[in-house]
Amino acid sequence: MIRAKQVVSALSLALILAAVVIIDGQDNQIVSEVCLGCICNAVSNCNRTLTCSGDVCGIFRITWAYWSDAGKPVLDQDDPSSPGAYSRCVNEPFCAAATVRGYMARFRQDCNGDGVINCDDYARLHLLGGYGCGGGLTPLYQQRYQECRSQFNENS
């Protein structure tokens, strides 16, 4: 039952993000909504009650350095140099997703060496970073990510 709730949570986030993409007319994103949902599920179960804890914030558990490497996206009417811009962005799901997309665009690479760049690589980039994404994933992250991807692959 818990796994079903996790997948539903990832699916809910993916559908919300898809609606925003359709509204904005940005359907050529480097990272799909399903992929974002599975990364979110893997890293935090897409728990929207998460804010900042230590040096990580939001549903994607983003650090300041990650946000900076992603180009410092901000909420509308915000300024990346203003105090709190980082936490305001990464604690808001849509801005956090834009941060992940910005990071992936900057560090896009074949992390697992299979000759293609896809969500498996983005999941590695998100957890391991752009300078060492060939390493191993933590068991829980790997399990949550694979369960989510399997669910969407079976149903698409």
User: Kind and range of the H or E element at 56?
Assistant: strand 56-57
- Identify the bridge partners of residue 52 per DSSP, sorted by sequence position: 57
**pLDDT (tens digit per residue) in 124-133:** 999 999 999 9
Q: What is the pLDDT of residue 3?
A: 54
Residue for token digits 């698409």?
156
Reduced to 3 states, what is the DSSP secondary structure of residue 13? helix
Q: What is the pLDDT of residue 153?
A: 77
pTM: 0.81
Low-confidence residues in the chain, pLDDT < 70: 1-28, 154-156
* Identity of the amino acid at 66: Y
| CA–CA distance, 50 with 91 (Å, rounded to integer) | 8
Q: What is the pLDDT of residue 54?
A: 93
| CA–CA distance, 43 with 35 (Å, rounded to integer) | 12
Cα angle value 65/47/61 (rounded, 5°): 10
Q: What is the pLDDT of residue 5?
A: 55
* Identity of the amino acid at 58: G
Q: What is the pLDDT of residue 152?
A: 84
Q: What is the pLDDT of residue 21?
A: 38
| CA–CA distance, 156 with 122 (Å, rounded to integer) | 20
| CA–CA distance, 6 with 148 (Å, rounded to integer) | 8
Give me the CATH topology for the region 2-155: Lysozyme (1.10.530)
